[in-house]
Structure formats: structure tokens, C-alpha cells
A and B are shown apart, each in its own frame.
Chain A
Amino acid sequence: MKFDQKDLKIIRSLQRDARTNFADIAKECNVSIDTVIKRFNRLKKNGIVKGTTILLNPRLLDYECIASFEVDVDPGELASFAVQVRKQKGIIFCTPTVGIHNLFAVAVQHDMKELSTLKENLKAFPHVRDIQTSIWVDDILLCPENFELTNLIKGD
């Protein structure tokens, strides 16, 4: 699909603030508002943009404890174990991984006690050999703008 400077500008503006007025983006790109709307819809239709969302601070929603787990589980049981992990309360992300451990999961919990219960529950699953926990402290820094997009522009 065609992807040019204008598409890039639209995505960059919305990455910084998804509620940016299309009129402002239009001015920045030197095109009409209709063009911006058309392009945004095209980006969605082409599957490059899946949607927009707000970013919440879990700690201010009473999820004080945020932690990641790295789990060692018997390789043959990995897929079914991952399904079980996703069902656990507070698990917001879970994926099989390649590396020293074979599963990576992130959890948000109200307090340490809840976190420890979750870890015990995970450990109690058959075929789980070891769990390594990292508790996230301080601010979680996010930078959605770090995606490289310029390499998508061809012949520009």
C-alpha cells in the first residue's frame, strides 16, 4: 500500500494525542480536513491503524502493584498453561517467549498480598518449574512515538 509523508504526519500527531483535531492536522499537512479524514479512514481500512485509545495510570486506579513474571514451564505444556494464565485475575498480558524463560506475563494488582497470591496460584500449576518476579517501581515510562515509520515511505 501507498504510505507517504502525509500519512506519517497524521499517525505522528495522533500518537502524541489521539484527540488532536483533524483541522489542526490538516493545517500542519497543508491539506483539507476531508483529506485527513479520508487518509485516517484508509489507514484504518488497510489495517495499519487498529484504533485509538487513552493511556491510563494503573496506580491511580488502585492497582498499586504492577509486576512482570517470567515463568519456566515444561515446553510441552506451554500453550495450555498460557491459556490458564490469561484467565487469572489481574493478568493484562501474557505471551510465550524465546529466551532463558519461556513465558512472560504482566499483572496489575491492588496490593502485595494479592500479588503474592497470584504468584502462588501460578506456581501451583502442574509443570511450572520456576517463576521469576520483577515488581515495577516508580513511573512506567511510555513512548509510543518510538515506532519507526519513515522506512515505510517508498520513493519519496
Chain B
Amino acid sequence: MDKVDSKILEELTKDARTSFRKIAKMVDKSPDTIINHYEKLQEKGLIRGSTVIINLRSINYEGLAAFQIDVSTDKSKKIDINKILETLIKMPNIIMATKTVGDHDLLAIGVIHDFDHMMKINEEISEIKGIRDIQTALWASGEEICSKYFIV
């Protein structure tokens, strides 16, 4: 990571559509240099992608929920935690999922329209094979998630 890299990250975090020409001017380099740096950052996986930040309330999402999931320890069921993770992230309204070490095995964050909707998602998750327990935490959608690492 050098100065050019950090400038690229800084500018694109603020606005992912900033032109490379504009960034080039800021650091006094050619646009080609910026493109090279940008492509390397992508290759290394430092930049995972880019997305739009949507105002949740404006698209009728009143809140978010964190689902902390416990996976069954029943050996006879042959449960694959990675498969559960895959199923979770493919579900509509689930915007983030990860394995965790601690009191629970998985964490998924979802966007929710209202209380009924949350109950429905909860039910859908509990229907996934191998899930023993779900603990839900709910919050209103005004709270901003750091969009650099996540979305919303």
C-alpha cells in the first residue's frame, strides 16, 4: 500500500464512480498509473467490489436484524456448516453472513420491512436443515453501517 493506493481507496469510498482522471490529477500521476494501481488492488482482493448505498427507509425497509445461529451438534445428521452459510446468503433480504467463534456458530444480517416480515425470515432460517437455535436482535434502519466494509 502506497500513497496512490490510499488516495484511490479514500476517493472511491466516498464515491465509487469518481473518474480515474480526477484521482490522477489529485496525486499528480497519469490516469494509466491510477488504473494500474486500481487493478492491482482488485487483484489482491483489497477492493472486493463496489455498490450503491441505498436509503433503506425509502425502499420500505423499517429495520435490520442480526440472526445469531446455533448449528445442531447431532452427528447423525451430517451437517455441513458451509452449506448452511451458502443457503443463508442466497436468501432474499439477507445482506451479510459469516461463521463465528463464540456463543453462536453463524451470524447473518438481514433487512426487514416490518415485524411480520422479520418473523417470516426467522421461520425461513429455522427451516434450513441443521439449525438448532436462532437468537434475534432487531434495530431501526436509521443506524448507518460502515459502508466501507459492509453495505446499507
Contact = CB atoms under 8 A, between A and B. Distances in A.
A71 B88 CA distance: 25
B51 interface: yes
| Chief secondary structure at chain A's binding surface | strand
A48 B17 CA distance: 17
A134 interface: yes
Given A18-B50, A19-B17, A54-B16, A47 B101 contact: no
Contacts of A134: 68, 100-104, 107
A147 to B, nearest CB: 6
A6 to B, nearest CB: 15
Interface stretch (B23-31, B71-79, B91-99, B124-132): B91-99
A18 B13 CA distance: 11
A10 B137 CA distance: 32
Contacts of B89: 141-143, 146
Contacts of B14: 51, 53
B52 A96 contact: no
A142 B103 CA distance: 22
Interface stretch (A27-35, A120-128, A148-156): A148-156
Given A18-B17, A60-B44, A148-B93, A133 B52 contact: no
B52 to A, nearest CB: 5
A19 B44 CA distance: 18
Contact of A104 (B12, B90, B94, B137): B137
A61 B9 CA distance: 11
A88 interface: no
18 contacts: A18-B51, A46-B58, A47-B58, A49-B53, A53-B16, A53-B147, A54-B13, A54-B148, A55-B51, A57-B149, A97-B138, A133-B103, A137-B99, A140-B149, A141-B88, A142-B95, A143-B89, A144-B95
Given A56-B149, A140-B98, 12 more contacts: A49-B52, A54-B48, A55-B48, A70-B137, A92-B148, A92-B150, A93-B143, A93-B144, A96-B139, A134-B107, A141-B85, A148-B93
Interface of B: 9, 12-17, 44-55, 58-61, 66, 68, 85, 88-104, 107, 111, 135-139, 143-151
Interface of A: 11, 14-19, 46-58, 60-61, 67-68, 70, 92-101, 104, 106, 108, 132-144, 146-149, 151-152
